[in-house]
Structure formats: C-alpha cells, structure tokens
Structure 1
Amino acid sequence: MWIGLAGVAFGLAAAYALYRLYAFKKQLKDLVRQLRRYHRGESGQKLVLDWHDPALEELAAEINRHTELIEQANAEKRRSETELRRAVANISHDLRTPLTSITGYIQLLESGQMTEEEGREAIAVVKNRTIRLKSLLNDFFELSVLDSPDYRLKLERVQLGRILPDILLGFYERMNEKKLRPQFRLAEEPLPATADESAVRRVIENLMLNTLRHAEGAIDVALQRQGEEAVLTIRNAAPHLRGFDLELLFNRFYMADQSRSGSSGGGNAGTGSGGSGLGLSIARGLMEKMDGSLRAEMDGDDLVMTCTWRLEK
C-alpha cells in the first residue's frame, strides 16, 4: 500500500515538474515573441509575463531596464542630431549676415560712385562688420572646445576681490552712454578662489555685456563671501521674463533662434560678446570648468545672475 502511494506521489510530482517545464518554455517563447515585435518596431510595450516565476520575472525586469536605456540613448541621439542641424543653420546664418554686408559695401567702394565721406562711412561699416565676424568665429570656436572633455583650464589662486573692480571699470564709459545707474557692492577682502583668471574675466565680461545690452535704469553688482564661497550677483530689471524658463537663457540654440526672430522672450535675455547669443552659454561652460556655477533666477521683476566660486581655505 505504501509503495502504491509513493508511486502516485512520484507520478504527481513528475507531472507537476513537466507542467512547470512546459509553462516555463511557453513563457520563454512568448518573451522571445514580444522581444521580436519590439525589435521590429511593431510594439513599444515592455515585456509582460503571463506566468509567475521569480527567475523569469527578474529576467524580464532586466530586459525592460535595458530597453529603457536604449530608448533614452535613441532619444538623446535624436536630440543631438536636431541640435547639430540647428547649430549648422545658426552658424550659417550668423556668418552670412556680416559677410553679406561686407561684400555689399566693398562692391559700392569698388564702383567709384561714392563720395569721399560716404567712402569713409562704408569703410567704417566694413570694419565693424569684420570685428563682429571675428567675434562670432571666436565664440563658435570657444564653444566647440568647451564641449571637449580634454579642454582644461589653468586653475590657480585668483583674487576675485581685486580683479573685479578692474573689469567693471572697463564698462564705466558704456554705462554712462546708456544712462545706466550702476551700484557696486564689492567685498573689501581679496576673496582668493580656485579659478582661471582669464576665464573669470571672460565670464564677468559676458555677463556685463549681456546686462548692458538689455538693462535700463539701475544695475546692481555685488561680490561677497558666503561661507566657503565667493558669490557674484548682477541684477537688473527684466519684467518681460516673469514666467519664462530661465534655463533657456543658457541654451545656445534657443538664444540664437530668438535673437533672429526678434521675439521679446529669450531674444531680450542675453547675448554674447559679439552679439551672437552665445555669451551666456560660454559663461556657464567656463564656470563649470572651474567647478563653479552660474544660474539665473527672478526676484520680483528683477533678473539676477549669480556666479559662485569655491574659496581657498
């Protein structure tokens, strides 16, 4: 009798094992079918199990995670390709504009139909357009090297409290020409930071040029110590930027498009040293290379640009 019961139990166990093996193989085939449909682009759904098995569930979860990574990589690739096309179009437009102007004035000069005074004016325009073209090329080159992981700045001890007044002094005449009312609140201590002096100068110059182009009335520039950091803030009224995504100010492609379209959004927000719309993007890139930060925020109707450097102990 016991032998008979044991045989029945063995038979049931064998039948259950065969059933699980059959169900396991069926689920595997279904997973393969789902993966095949996904690879063919017939379905974008994640893998779904019809049968509970811990090992298969773990396998499906890992495959789904891998699929998500592939989708993210593809989305990033499409975004990069789109930005590359926009960059090529933007660069082409930015370079073509001054070149067209230069060519036109040269043709007028060659025609011999201009008066002496008109000729001098034409030469002045050609000179200005050439300077702008050079500035554009410098900006494009600087952005290209900033994006390279091999690009390194010379980080050393920089006395921010001493070089900032010198930089601001260079903008004093232009501030007067625009009838701006600057207020400087600068720390009296040297504020030694780990930075690259030429990069610091470029960052501050870009921020000041951005402010000069778009500010009216009062400008507030402050440099102070906050804990173990040196913080520079540049504030000016910008009520048109309320509700605007300020991160777009640092997007080189958005800025270029807006400056061409003449909209009152990003196009009024900021441009680079040559008016190419790249200055803020360059400034942030340089700050990141110095392990610092550059951010924009609204305080009421005021736009506040904030740079932060790490101070040496």
Structure 2
Amino acid sequence: MLYVGIGLIVILVYLLTRHFYLKREIKRATKQLHELNQNLTEKKLDIRFFDKDIEKLVEEINNQINLTKKATADKRRTENELKQAISHISHDIRTPMTSILGYIQFLEVEEITPSLRKEYTQIIKDGALRLKALLEDFFELSIIEQTDYPMKLETIKINQVILEVLLGFYEAFNKRGLTPTIEIPDEDLLIKADLSAVKRVIENLILNAIKHSSGNVIIRVEKATSSVQLMISNSVEQLSERDLTYMFDRFYKADQARIGHGTGLGLPIAKSLMEKMNGSISAELEQGELAIICKWNS
C-alpha cells in the first residue's frame, strides 16, 4: 500500500507540474499573440515547454501569421498598383484632353485661315481617337481580368492564325519600311487555346513590334516537347533589364512599351489573355534585340 501511495503521489505531482507548465505556456503564447496583434512586435510565436500538441498548435498559429502577413502585403501591393494605374490613366486621359480643348479654342478664333482650321481639326480628331483607344483598351483589360471571363479552349492551327493576322498588318509594315523575317514551319502546329484570344495576343505583339522596332522584326514559331512557342522580336535602341521586369504592367513607361501613340495596355492585355489560356508570356533582351515569347500547350 505504501508503494501504491507513493506511486499515486508521483503521478499527481507529474500531472500538476505538467498542468502548471502547460498553463504557463498558454499564457505566454497569449501574450505573444496580443503583442503581435497590437503591432508591438512582428515576431512569431515560440515555445519553451516542449509538448507535441502545443508544438503543433504553435506551428499552425505561425502558419496563419505567415498567411496574414502575405495577405496584408498583397493587399498593400494591390492598392499601390491601383493608385499607380489611376495616376497613369488620369495622366493619359488628361494629355489628349488638354490638347483637344486647346485646339478647340484656336478654332473659335474667327480670323483663322482655312488651312490652319483643317490642321487643327485633324489634331483634335487624332487626340479624340487616341482617347477612344485608351478607354477601350482599359475597359477591355478590366473585363479580361475578371475571374469569370469566358474562354473557349479548342484545338487551333497556330500556323494559319499567325499568317491570317500578318496579312492584316501588310500596310503597317510598309509604312514603317519594315520587312519582317517570318519563320513558320510548313507542318501544322496545334495548340489548345481560345481562337479570338490568340488573335488578339498576336495582334498586340505585332503592333508593339512595328511601333517600336528600330530596324527589324522577326516572327518565329517553334515546336517544343509539349508546347508551341511563338517569338516576336525586334531591335530596340533604349531598353534595360529593369524594363523587362515591368514591361507587362499596366501603363509602365518604358521606351519600348510607351513610345509613340500606344495606350500602354497592349502587353498587359496579351499577358492576361495568355494566363487565361493557361499559357505563358515572357520577355528577353539580348544585344539590342527584344524578344517576347508566348507558349501554349500542344
């Protein structure tokens, strides 16, 4: 009986000691969470009393802390991107609007000559068309980026699609004095994609190359193991590796992305459409040649 009594006392002491340390660890964890929630610290929870259940609980709490930090960072980045987008679109709208209003005032002058009236009217028309294009592209991008944007994936012969799109840019190439180098295999290259979206992507990339090429344009299609790759490259005079990082951002102002009369939304629209088709788009810069590469699953 004596040994049984001693054994019970030992067990009781062990349980009480364990209860004491567990309770102390819970209070300590509560204090750490309170300091974290009050922004008094950014340190995650740690434990001193090693118990597998407590360890598991602290691990899950720390995982939640990581998720919360990531969500906060993503929200802050999204808010900053929205502010920048609003700032850029405000600037891009204000510029042609200021020009339009200014030349309208010139037209109101009675002694203006017919030739100047015609010239100012054309400037107003050009400004209005640029403003129209900007608003249409911005609206299109906002629609594409919606989660429920419809995509009809089907088997497409990318060779034929590229040639069809190229025919529509014959005059545009001539006006810039450009003769594109076209490398498209004779064999049919099949991809899984949305036909309308594929055409829009190709149009945007060719238009981008025509506007900003400083000498040549190359259009190449290649077959990989499980994908088909379209590369459209053009020579550029002023572009850096840093520009490549932001090239597909809305309204990013780089020489390649914004020079001329573009809206700055062609590449972001192409990126959004490629992502919707489970494809990818990237940019590479080598020895003054910018290459934009699209990949579709075959």
TM-score normalized with structure 2 length = 0.91
CA distance, structure 2, for counterparts of residue 126 and residue 215 of structure 1 = 27
Matches within 5 A, 1:198-277: 198-238=196-236, 240-244=238-242, 246-253=244-251, 255=252, 258=253, 267-271=254-258, 275-277=262-264
TM-aligned CA deviation for residue 299 of structure 1: 3.9
User: Does 2:106 match 1:111?
Assistant: no
Assess if the C-alpha contact under 8 Å between 2:200 and 2:270 holds in 1: yes
Q: 1:12 to 1:309 in 2, by over 3 A?
A: closer
> What runs of 5+ residues in structure 2 fail to find an aligned partner?
none
User: Does 2:140 match 1:153?
Assistant: no
User: Does 2:74 match 1:76?
Assistant: yes
Match of residue 278 from structure 1? 265
CA distance, structure 2, for counterparts of residue 61 and residue 228 of structure 1 = 40
| 1:205-232, Cα deviation, whole Å (9 max, x unpaired) | 2111211222112221112433453322
TM-aligned CA deviation for residue 47 of structure 1: 0.8
TM-aligned CA deviation for residue 13 of structure 1: 2.3
CA distance, structure 2, for counterparts of residue 37 and residue 231 of structure 1 = 52
Match of residue 64 from structure 2? 66
TM-aligned CA deviation for residue 95 of structure 1: 1.0
> What runs of 5+ residues in structure 1 fail to find an aligned partner?
259-266
CA distance, structure 1, for counterparts of residue 107 and residue 37 of structure 2 = 63
Q: 1:239 to 1:112 in 2, by over 3 A?
A: closer
1:38 partner amino acid: L
TM-score normalized with structure 1 length = 0.87
Assess if the C-alpha contact under 8 Å between 2:211 and 2:260 holds in 1: no
Matches within 5 A, 1:130-149: 130-149=128-147
- Which is worse superposed, 19-28 or 164-173? 164-173
- Which is worse superposed, 99-108 or 134-143? 99-108
CA distance, structure 2, for counterparts of residue 213 and residue 245 of structure 1 = 17
CA distance, structure 2, for counterparts of residue 200 and residue 83 of structure 1 = 27
| 1:264-287, Cα deviation, whole Å (9 max, x unpaired) | xxx123249961211101011112
- Which is worse superposed, 272-281 or 6-15? 272-281
Runs (4+) of structure 1 exceeding 6 A deviation are: none
DSSP 3-state at the match of 1:111: coil
RMSD: 2.2
CA distance, structure 1, for counterparts of residue 269 and residue 165 of structure 2 = 18
TM-aligned CA deviation for residue 58 of structure 1: 1.0
Match of residue 293 from structure 1? 280
CA distance, structure 1, for counterparts of residue 164 and residue 49 of structure 2 = 73
CA distance, structure 2, for counterparts of residue 219 and residue 21 of structure 1 = 75
TM-aligned CA deviation for residue 6 of structure 1: 3.1
Assess if the C-alpha contact under 8 Å between 2:238 and 2:256 holds in 1: no
DSSP 3-state at the match of 1:46: coil
1:287 partner amino acid: M
Match of residue 38 from structure 1? 36
- Which is worse superposed, 57-66 or 237-246? 237-246
TM-aligned CA deviation for residue 75 of structure 1: 1.0
DSSP 3-state at the match of 1:223: strand
CA distance, structure 2, for counterparts of residue 144 and residue 131 of structure 1 = 20
CA distance, structure 2, for counterparts of residue 195 and residue 19 of structure 1 = 65
1:4 partner amino acid: L
TM-aligned CA deviation for residue 151 of structure 1: 0.9
Q: 1:292 to 1:252 in 2, by over 3 A?
A: same
Q: 1:119 to 1:194 in 2, by over 3 A?
A: same
**Percent of residue pairs bearing the same amino acid type:** 39
DSSP 3-state at the match of 1:252: coil
Aligned residues: 298
Match of residue 264 from structure 1? none
